[in-house]
Amino acid sequence: MDDLTGPYYVAWWITNRCNLLCVHCINDSGPFHQFDNELAGDEIERVARQIVELGVPQGSITGGEPLIHKDFFKVAGYLSDNGVSLNVETDAQLINRETARRIARLNLRAMQVSVDGATQSTYGLMRRTTTGSAELSRVLDAIRMLAEEGVRVSVNFVPTRFSANEVGQVIDAVAALGAKTFYTGRIMRVGRAAMNWKWLAPTEAQYQGFFATLNQKAKEYSGRVRIIYYPYTVTHELKFRTENPAASFVILPNGKVKMIASMPFLCADLRRHSLAEAWERYKIAWKHPMVREFSEKVKDDDPMLASNNSFVELDLEQPVIQSKV
Amino acid sequence: MALSNRHVKVREEKRGTVIFDTLNEKVYTINETGASILKLLLSGNTLDGTARILAQDYNSDEAAVRSDVIQFVDELAARSLVDKVPAT
C-alpha cells in the first residue's frame, strides 16, 4: 500500500440522514441523524473532483440513504462519467419507475440493495421507521424495476437471530427479480447492531446452517447469481487489516476521513486536507499506537466496537513512535 | 482496442500498471512490457502497429514481438478485460 498513488476504493458516506431507522445500522443513521455540518455545494463538488483527479478506480456512495441527498444524482453522475466505477448502497424504499430510469442513466457498477428478510415480519423487524416498519414489497418492486431498466443489482443481506434461516428464500426471491450478486457475512458488531447485539446476533449453530445454505445456493445459482460471503467476524477482519491495511477509506458526511468502518479513528479532514494528503495521512495512521492498541484490545473485548461512531481524531502531526510496552 | 467495459480501469503505479476489473472484483498488475503494449493498443494502434513500434524501441525481431503481443492480448481477452483487436 505504501507505494500506491491513491486509494483503490473510496466509500463516500454522503449523508447520515436516512428514511429508515434500522436496528442493525452500522452508521447509526436515521431520519433525524443528519450531521449538523455535512458537506454541501462547492465542498461536495471539490471532493468529487479530487476523487477523479487522484484516479480512484472504484467507489461507493453510502449513507444514511444516498437517494435523499439533494446532490446525489449530480455527484454520482459526475463520478461515473469521469472514470469511477461506482456502487450505490440503498434501502431502495424510495425507488419508483422514474427513479429507476434516472439511476440507469448513471451507468453504475451496481445498485446495492439491502434485503434482510424473506417475509414482511422479519424485514419489518429490522427495517424500522419512526412510525412502524418499512415495506418489503417496495424493495422487491424496486429490484424488479431496476433490473428491467438495465441496472446491475446486487443485494446485501445481514443475518440476525430471527432472519438467518430465511437467507435461502431471499436468494431465490431476488434472483427471480434479476439481481446478479448477493453479498452477506456475519452481522458486524458495530454501531446500532452492537447496541442491540443480545437479540440480534445469531448463534453459532444458526451460522452453521446459514453458511451451509449459502454454499448450496452458490452451487444452485452458479453462472447466474454470484453469491459472495465473508465468513469471519469483524474482530478477525480488524486484526488482519491492522497488519494488511486495505487501499481504501471512508469519507464521512462532514468530510472527515475514517480509516475503516469498524474503528472510530479519523485520519484527515477534507475541509483542511486534499484527498491526496488524506491518502498519505491514512497510510501513517495505521501505524499510530492508538490504532494498534484498539485492534489488539478489541480481540478480547468486542463490545468496544460499539464505539465505532464515537469518532477519535488522530494526532498525526507528531512523528509516530511505536512502542512494544 | 478498447477495454471491454467502462468498469475496467487502468492506473499507473510505481510498481507497474494495475488493471482493475471492478465488476468481477479482481486486480491485475502487469509488467513494464505489458504496460507498453496496453498503452499502445488503447491509444488506437493495431496489433501490427504495436509490434512494429515495440520492435523498433527494443531493437527486436518484429515477428517475435508480434507473437508476444498477440499472446498478451489473448490473455487479457480471456479475462474479459479488453475487446478484440484488429490485426492490421
Give the model's pLDDT for residue B1.
Answer: 72
> What type of residue sits at position A301?
D
**Does residue A170 carry a pLDDT above 70?**
yes
What does the angle CA B79 – CA B85 – CA B88 come to, to the nearest 5 degrees? 155
Q: Is A200:A161 a contact under the CB 8 Å cutoff?
A: yes
- Taking the C-alpha atoms of residue A28 and residue A188, their distance in angstroms, rounded to an integer, is 13
Residues in chain A within 8 Å Cβ distance of B9: 57-58, 83, 85
Give the model's pLDDT for residue A325.
Answer: 40
Give the model's pLDDT for residue B88.
Answer: 63
Chain pair A-B, CB pairs under 8 angstroms? 31
In sequence order, the 6+-apart residues with CB closer than 8 A to the CB of A271 are A39, A43, A254, A255
Contact flag B9-A5 (C-beta cutoff 8 Å): no
Nearest Cα to Cα of residue B37 among B22, B20, B15, B52: B52
- Taking the C-alpha atoms of residue A18 and residue A26, their distance in angstroms, rounded to an integer, is 13
Residues in chain A within 8 Å Cβ distance of B6: 85, 107
**Does residue A321 carry a pLDDT above 70?**
no
Give the model's pLDDT for residue A309.
Answer: 85
Average pLDDT, chain A: 94
Query: pLDDT tens, A39-95?
Result: 999 999 999 999 999 999 999 999 999 999 999 999 999 999 999 999 999 999 999
- Taking the C-alpha atoms of residue B46 and residue A257, their distance in angstroms, rounded to an integer, is 44
Query: pLDDT tens, A113-156?
Result: 999 999 999 999 999 999 999 999 999 999 999 999 999 999 99
Give the model's pLDDT for residue B16.
Answer: 86
Residues in chain B within 8 Å Cβ distance of A58: 7, 9, 20, 22
Contact flag B9-A109 (C-beta cutoff 8 Å): no
**Does residue A247 carry a pLDDT above 90?**
yes
The residue of B8, B22, B26, B42 whose CB has the most chain A CBs within 10 angstroms, and thus the best one to mutate to test that interface, is: B22
Q: Is A268:A278 a contact under the CB 8 Å cutoff?
A: yes
ipTM of predicted assembly, 2 dp:
0.79
Q: Is the peptide bond before A64 cis (omega within 30 degrees of 0)?
A: yes
Give the model's pLDDT for residue A324.
Answer: 44
Grid coordinates representing A127 are 427495517
Q: What is the mean pLDDT of residues B44-50?
A: 90
Give the model's pLDDT for residue A320.
Answer: 52
The residue of A56, A58, A82 whose CB has the most chain B CBs within 10 angstroms, and thus the best one to mutate to test that interface, is: A58
> Which chain A residue is nearest to residue B11, measuring alpha carbons?
A55
Give the model's pLDDT for residue A15.
Answer: 98
Grid coordinates representing A226 are 454470484
Q: Which of B11, B13, B23 sits opposite A109 (nearest CB)?
A: B23
- Taking the C-alpha atoms of residue A90 and residue B24, their distance in angstroms, rounded to an integer, is 21
For residue A203, give Cα distances in angstroms to A119, A199, A208, A265: 21, 10, 9, 30
Q: At which residue does the C-alpha cell 496489433 appear?
A: B47
Q: What is the mean pLDDT of residues A12-18?
A: 97
Q: Which of A4, A55, A109 sits opposite B7 (nearest CB)?
A: A109
pLDDT band for position B87 (cuts 50, 70, 90): low
Query: pLDDT tens, A257-311?
Result: 999 998 999 999 999 999 999 999 999 999 999 999 998 888 777 778 888 888 9
- Taking the C-alpha atoms of residue A262 and residue A241, their distance in angstroms, rounded to an integer, is 11
- Comparing A34 with A318, which gets the higher pLDDT? A34
**Does residue B84 carry a pLDDT above 80?**
no
Asked if A244 has any chain B CB less than 8 Å from its own CB, the reply is: no
